[in-house]
Amino acid sequence: MHYSGPIAKMLTSVDSQNNAQYTLPIGPERVAMNELIGKQIEVQFTQTITCVHCERPTSKSFNQGYCYPCLQRLAQCDTCIVKPELCHYSKGTCREPQWAEAHCFNDHIVYLSNTGNVKVGITRQLQKGVSTRWIDQGATQAVAMFRVANRLISGLVETACKQYVGDKTNWRTMLKNEYETLDLNALKKEIISKVQSDIDNIHEQYGLLAVTPIESFAVDIHYPAQQYPTKVSSINLEKEGGFMGQLLGIKGQYWLLDNDRVINIRKYGGYHWDITVSG
């Protein structure tokens, strides 16, 4: 099998047993990656990069796939996407007000997840009770805590929760699949109790419907992997130009290859690859 073209971050979903399912967009094709576990994969970077938004050629990729003009122009590349509490729409300085109205002014969910350590995060929606963001981060457990009215408020709630729990993933620990099973339901109750005064303040400013607790229980997520790395060696496609090996698994947005090698697919959005699959 041979595939060629610009790649994008893998599309994710879960089946009825919460097994993560992965699809790689490459050019016009969509490759079912779970079916390739155990096969030999050879990748060559063709030294061509195109922006994932405008498709213009670029010598360097920014923010996981954008050219520099798009990085500076698009609302989806602004700082407030990473730190939603810094939303500046109300100041009239949003880069793309119409984009913000479609993407930021709708319900968001604040959650807890276990990616090797417990963390708080934000997602826009759940599918079958699971967020694709949880899969992208390689979470083995997750639970929704609050439904909030817009992205700004989600950032305020997340900031309140960060007083008691982190918001970062140790990607090496996540890829090694080193984690303790946590009682996320109990942690959820504990965090909600601790941030209640912060939530009351948000209610006073934005109304009672700005933040509402979600009655839900933690879910487990399973990943397609025959083997996890014991030491993580990240492939640098810029330096190496390509790689080959047996695909042993997928977790988060990473391919897990033999000899403890891994590659972050999302990092190379817009890069043109030639992929050959055998075995």
The answer to whether residues 157 and 204 belong to one domain is yes
**Domain of residue 13, residue span:** 2-61+226-278
Asked if residue 203 is part of any domain, the answer here is yes
Determine contact, residues 236/18, Cβ cutoff 8 Å.
Answer: no
For the chain, the average pLDDT equals 96
Domain boundary among 172, 193, 220: 220
The residue behind tokens 């690859």 is 273
Q: How many CB atoms lie within 10 A of CB 141?
A: 21
Asked if residue 39 is part of any domain, the answer here is yes
Q: Residue 210 — φ and ψ, nearest 5°? A: -65, -35
What is the DSSP annotation of the chain?
A: -EEEEEB-PPEEEE-TT-BEEEEEEETTEEEEGGGGTTSEEEEEEEEEEB-TTT--B-SS-BTTTB-HHHHHH-GGGSHHHH-GGG--GGGT--S-HHHHHHHTSS-EEEEEEESSSEEEEEES--BTTB-HHHHHTT-SEEEEEEEESSHHHHHHHHHHHTTTSB----HHHHHTT------HHHHHHHHHHHTHHHHHHHHHHH-GGGEEE-----EE-B--BS---SS-EE--HHHHSEEEEEEEEEETTEEEESTTEEEETGGGTTEEEEEEEE-
Q: Residue 23 — φ and ψ, nearest 5°? A: -130, 130
Say what percent of the chain tops pLDDT 90. Answer: 96
Q: Supply the pLDDT for residue 127.
A: 83
The answer to whether residues 117 and 209 belong to one domain is yes
Confidence of residue 128 (pLDDT cuts 50, 70, 90): confident
The answer to whether residues 47 and 76 belong to one domain is no
Confidence of residue 279 (pLDDT cuts 50, 70, 90): confident
> pTM of the entire structure?
0.94
Number of domain units in the chain: 2
Determine contact, residues 256/262, Cβ cutoff 8 Å.
Answer: yes
Q: Is the pLDDT of residue 261 over 90?
A: yes
Q: Is the pLDDT of residue 49 over 90?
A: yes
Asked if residue 263 is part of any domain, the answer here is yes
The answer to whether residues 47 and 178 belong to one domain is no
Give one word for 112, left, alpha or beta, with left for phi > 0 and alpha for psi -120 to 50. Answer: beta
The answer to whether residues 167 and 85 belong to one domain is yes
Asked if residue 175 is part of any domain, the answer here is yes
The answer to whether residues 42 and 136 belong to one domain is no
Please name which of 269, 248, 250 lies closest in space to residue 21, comparing C-alpha atoms: 250
Determine contact, residues 235/263, Cβ cutoff 8 Å.
Answer: yes
Round to whole Å and give the CA distance between 223 and 33.
12
The answer to whether residues 24 and 128 belong to one domain is no
Asked if residue 189 is part of any domain, the answer here is yes
Domain boundary among 204, 220, 236: 220
Q: Is the pLDDT of residue 71 over 90?
A: yes
Rounded mean pLDDT of 3-22?
96
Q: What residues are paired with 32 via a beta bridge?
A: 23
Confidence of residue 125 (pLDDT cuts 50, 70, 90): confident
Confidence of residue 204 (pLDDT cuts 50, 70, 90): very high
The answer to whether residues 133 and 246 belong to one domain is no
Q: Is the pLDDT of residue 99 over 90?
A: yes
pLDDT digits (tens, 9 = 90+) for 131-168: 999 999 999 999 999 999 999 999 999 999 999 999 99
Rounded mean pLDDT of 70-91?
95
The answer to whether residues 11 and 82 belong to one domain is no
Domain boundary among 174, 199, 220: 220
Asked if residue 66 is part of any domain, the answer here is no
